[in-house]
Chain A
Amino acid sequence: MPHPRAPAKSLLHLNARGKGDPVKGPPARHEEPKEQLPAVEGVITDAGELEVGDRVVYPNQGVCRITGVEKKEIAGQRLELVRMEREEDGAAVLVPKGKVPTIGLRKVASGDQIEGVFHYLAAQYDDPELDWKVRHRDNADRLIAGGVLGVAEVVKGLHSLSRIRPLPAKEREQYDNARHLLVHEVAVSLAVEPGLAEDYIDYALMPPPGVTFKLKPPPKPVELPARPRRKVVRTDEEDLGIDDLGLDLSLGEDGERPPGAEATAGEEAVAIPGIPSPDDIPLPDTEAEPETVGEAEAEGAEPEEGEEVPAVPPPRKPAPAKKPEASPASKAARSKPAAVKKAAAKKATKPAAAARAKPAPKKAEKKKPAAKAPAKKPARGGKKK
Chain B
Amino acid sequence: MIRIVTLSPFDEGDIAVLAKTLFTAFGLGTEYAGERQLPPEAEQDDGRYDAVKLLAEVNPVKTFADDKVLFLTDAELAMRRGPLGEPPCWSFAQYGGEKAVVSTSRFPERGVTEASIEAWRKRLARESIHAVGHLWDLHHCYDARCAMHPSWSPSLPASPEAELCSFDREKSERKVRLAKT
Query: Which residues of chain B are within 8 angstroms of A213 by Cβ–Cβ distance?
Result: 84-85
Whether a CB of chain B sits under 8 angstroms from the CB of A371 is no
Q: Check B142–A183 contact: CB distance below 8 A.
A: no
* Complexed CA–CA distance, A88 and B92 (Å): 19
Within 8 Å CB of B85, what residues of A? 203, 211, 213
Give per-residue flags for B91-103: 1 if the beta carbon is below 8 A from chain A beta carbons, else 0: 0111110000000
Q: Which chain B residues numbered 63 to 115 have a C-beta less than 8 Å away from chain A?
A: 79-80, 82-85, 87-89, 92-96
Distance to closest chain B CB from A110 (angstroms):
13
A118–B85 alpha-carbon span in the complex (Å): 11
On whether the beta carbons of A166 and B143 are closer than 8 Å, the reply is yes
Q: Does B175 contact A (CB under 8 A)?
A: no
B residues less than 8 Å from A169 (CB atoms): 167
Which one of A115, A163, A179 contacts B139 once the chains associate, using CB atoms below 8 Å?
A: A179
A206 to B134 Cα, complex, angstroms: 18
User: Contacts of A175 on B, CB cut-off 8 Å?
Assistant: 142
* In the complex, chain A residues whose CB is within 8 Å of the CB of B9: none
B140 engages A115 (CB within 8 Å): no
Residues of A contacting B167 in the complex (Cβ-Cβ under 8 angstroms): 169, 172, 176
The 8 Å CB contact of A162, one of B79, B82, B139, B142, is B142
> Would you call B82 and A209 a contact (CB within 8 A)?
no
Instruction: Say whether, besides A115-B83, A203-B85, A206-B150, A198 and B94 are in contact (CB < 8 Å).
Output: no
A200 touches B154 (CB 8 A): no
> B83 and A206: CB pair below 8 A?
no
Q: Does A159 count as interface, using CB distance less than 8 angstroms?
A: yes
Residues of A within 8 A of B79 (CB): 196, 199
How many Å lie between the Cα of A48 and that of B18 in the bound state? 55
Assess whether B142 is in contact with A122, with CB atoms less than 8 Å apart.
no
- Total count of chain B residues near the partner, CB < 8 A: 27
Determine if B140 and A202 form an interchain contact, defined as CB atoms under 8 angstroms apart: yes
Task: Choose among B80, B83, B139, B142 the residue that contacts A118 (Cβ–Cβ < 8 A).
Answer: B83
Q: List residues of chain B with CB within 8 A of the CB of A200.
A: 82-84, 87
Kindly list chain A residues whose C-beta atoms are within 8 Å of the C-beta of B94.
Answer: 193, 195
Chain B neighbourhood of A221, CB < 8 A:
none
Q: Does A194 contact B (CB under 8 A)?
A: yes
Contact A203/B82 with A162-B142, A193-B94, A193-B95 known, Cβ cut-off 8 Å: yes
- In the assembly, what is the distance between CA of A204 and CA of B150, in Å? 12
Tell me, in angstroms, the Cα distance from A295 to B131 when the chains sit together: 56
Question: Do A204 and B140 have beta carbons less than 8 Å apart?
Answer: no
Question: CB of A208 within 8 A of chain B?
Answer: yes
A114 at the interface (CB under 8 A from B): yes
Give the complex CA separation of A208 and B155 in angstroms.
9
A residues near B176, Cβ cutoff 8 Å: none
Question: Is A196 within 8 A of B152, CB to CB?
Answer: no
How far apart are A329's CB and chain B's nearest CB, in angstroms? 48
**Cβ contact within 8 Å between B134 and A196:** no
Which residues from chain B contact A293 at a C-beta distance below 8 Å?
none
Cβ of B37 within 8 Å of any chain A Cβ, yes or no, is no
Instruction: Answer whether residue A86 sits at the interface, using C-beta atoms and an 8 A cutoff.
Output: no
Which residues of the partner chain A approach B17 to less than 8 Å between Cβ atoms?
Answer: none
A164 to chain B, nearest CB (A): 11
Is B82's CB under 8 angstroms from A179's CB? no
Q: What's the Cα separation between A211 and B85 when bound, in Å? A: 10
Residues A208 and B153 in contact, CB atoms below 8 Å apart: yes
Interface residues of A in 269-309 (CB under 8 A from B): none
The smallest beta-carbon distance between A175 and chain B, in angstroms, is 8
A208–B152 CB distance below 8 A: yes
Question: What is the bound-complex CA distance between A166 and B143, given in angstroms?
Answer: 8
Q: Does A180 sit within 8 A of B, measured CB to CB?
A: yes
Query: Is B61 an interface residue when CB atoms closer than 8 A count as contact?
Result: no
B residues in contact with A162, CB < 8 Å: 142-143
Instruction: List B contacts of A207 (CB < 8 A).
Output: 154
List A residues 139-191 near B (Cβ within 8 Å).
Answer: 159, 162-163, 166-167, 169, 172, 175-176, 179-180, 183, 190
CB distance from B29 to the nearest CB of A (A): 24
Say whether B154 contacts A202, CB under 8 Å: no
Q: Which residue of B lies closest to A204 (CB)?
A: B84
Point out the residues of chain A lying under 8 angstroms from B89, CB to CB: 199
Please give me the residue from chain A that is nearest to B83 by CB atom.
A118
B117 within 8 A of A: no
Q: Is the CB of B134 within 8 A of A195?
A: yes
Sample (17) of A-B pairs whose CB atoms are under 8 Å apart:
A118-B84, A162-B143, A176-B167, A179-B139, A180-B139, A183-B95, A190-B83, A195-B93, A195-B95, A196-B82, A196-B92, A198-B139, A203-B85, A203-B87, A203-B152, A204-B84, A206-B154
